[in-house]
Each structure stands twice: as C-alpha cells, then as structure tokens.
A and B are shown apart, each in its own frame.
Chain A
Amino acid sequence: EAGVAQSPRYKIIEKRQSVAFWCNPISGHATLYWYQQILGQGPKLLIQFQNNGVVDDSQLPKDRFSAERLKGVDSTLKIQPAKLEDSAVYLCASSLDPPTSGIMGAQYFGPGTRLLVL
C-alpha cells in the first residue's frame, strides 16, 4: 500500500514570497491533516479535513495560510506571504476514520516538506 506522498521535499524562498505544498493521502483515507513542525518541537495541527470539508482550522493563521482539498483526495497548503517564522517542516497525514476510532483513526504521515524562509 502506498503511503502519504508530499511534494516538494525541500523549498527555500525569501520572505514575502508565496509557496505551495501538495499532499496525496493514502487511498481511501477520508481524513487529511496538515501539521507544522518547528525544529525541536512536536507537530502542531494546522487544519483537518473530512473528505473535502474543513473540520478544524482553529490553529491556521488565516491571514497568510490557506488550504484546500478539492474532490476529497489531494490537498494543497499555501503560504502567502511567507515570514521568517514559517520556516519549519510541513507534514501531511491521513487516517481512515476520525481520531476517535483507535487504530482506524490512527494517523499516517508523509515525509514532510522542509521550508526555509530567508
């Protein structure tokens, strides 16, 4: 079974530029998550989708971050304009069911996109 795919793996941009990340979840997984992981910290949830609807975006800085999941499969996360403090690893994860479902709700992570903002 193919895992969660993310691209690009690395991105270097200057502050105030825009950047977009792409995620393809495990086939059949209804729930998709985007996390931000700053160096030395655990992942922080940015947004959670159930199919193509947003379940939780309370931690998403909506003035500069946006995300969509058209057709309930692939998702893109965009930052516009980027700030220095956005330098982090952006992780995409997916699960078969919402997290309350035990192993069925367990989240499987992609390799991440490492963003450096100069």
Chain B
Amino acid sequence: GEDVEQSLFLSVREGDSSVINCTYTDSSSTYLYWYKQEPGAGLQLLTYIFSNMDMKQDQRLTVLLNKKDKHLSLRIADTQTGDSAIYFCAPIKAAGNKLTFGGGTRVLVKP
C-alpha cells in the first residue's frame, strides 16, 4: 500500500469538531506534520508532533499519535468555514530524511 494514507473527503457542519485521520508505514518516523492547502495556494504548516509524544494541543488543534498502530489524527474544534481546505499528513521518512505526503483529505465546512 501507499506510505501515507488518508481518507479523501470529510464534510462537517460549522461549529462541530472535525477529525482527520492518517495512517503511515514508516515506524521510524521522528516528526509528523500537518499541512493545510487552500484553493490556489501553497501548503501552510499547521502543527507537528514528535514521535515520543502521544498528544499535542495547539489552540483549536489537537494532534493524537498512536505509534503502535502508526495512526495520526488531527482534530479541529469549533470548525469554521475558513477551515475548508485540503489537509495533508506528512511524516518524516527516516530513510533519506524526507517528508512523505499523503493524498490529502478535503474538508468541506457547511454553514
């Protein structure tokens, strides 16, 4: 399978919480990043987690890491229409120290 997998699409109502999931294969990944891409724009770094952590909170964002299952999630609390974008999970691939991107999850926030 692919090195990094994400679900394609998520629809959420404004004010609800969004949870974006990601699975990866490289168990030696040291850092795992979340990026946001709005239409016609580059990628914006949202947050990251170090592999020896299982949770990190940053304002409305909560990152959960299950290293045993190689599962990463990003929770966005109180989702706003401005959160509509594509979200990419990107762990560091230990071999070659490269970021490996998933295919992205398109999040649509409905008013």
Q: How far is the CB of B29 from chain A (nearest CB, A)?
A: 10
- Dominant SS among interface residues on chain B: strand
Q: Are A100 and B30 in contact (CB under 8 A)?
A: yes
Residues of chain B within 8 A (CB-CB) of A40 are 103
Q: Are A111 and B98 in contact (CB under 8 A)?
A: no
Q: Are A112 and B103 in contact (CB under 8 A)?
A: no
Which B residues between 25 and 79 are near A, CB-CB below 8 angstroms? 30-31, 33, 35, 40-45, 48, 50
State how many residues of chain B have any CB contact under 8 Å with chain A: 24
The residue from A48, A100, A102, A111 contacting B42, defined by CB atoms under 8 A apart: A111
If A48-B98, A98-B97, A102-B31 touch, does A109 touch B92 (CB 8 Å cutoff)? Answer: no
Query: In whole angstroms, what is the CA distance A98 to B103 when docked?
Result: 23
Q: Are B42 and A56 in contact (CB under 8 A)?
A: no
A60-104 CB mask vs B (1 if < 8 Å, else 0) is 000000000000000000000000000000010100001110110
Asked if B24 is at the interface (CB within 8 A of a chain A CB), the reply is no
Chain A residues with a Cβ under 8 A of chain B: 4, 40-45, 48, 56, 58, 91, 93, 98-100, 102-103, 105-112
Q: Are B33 and A43 in contact (CB under 8 A)?
A: no
Q: How far is the CB of B101 from chain A (nearest CB, A)?
A: 3
A-B contact pairs, 27 of them (CB 8 A): A4-B42, A41-B103, A41-B104, A42-B88, A42-B90, A42-B103, A42-B104, A43-B88, A44-B101, A91-B42, A93-B43, A99-B98, A100-B31, A102-B30, A102-B48, A102-B50, A105-B31, A106-B33, A106-B45, A106-B48, A107-B33, A107-B99, A108-B45, A109-B43, A109-B45, A111-B41, A112-B42
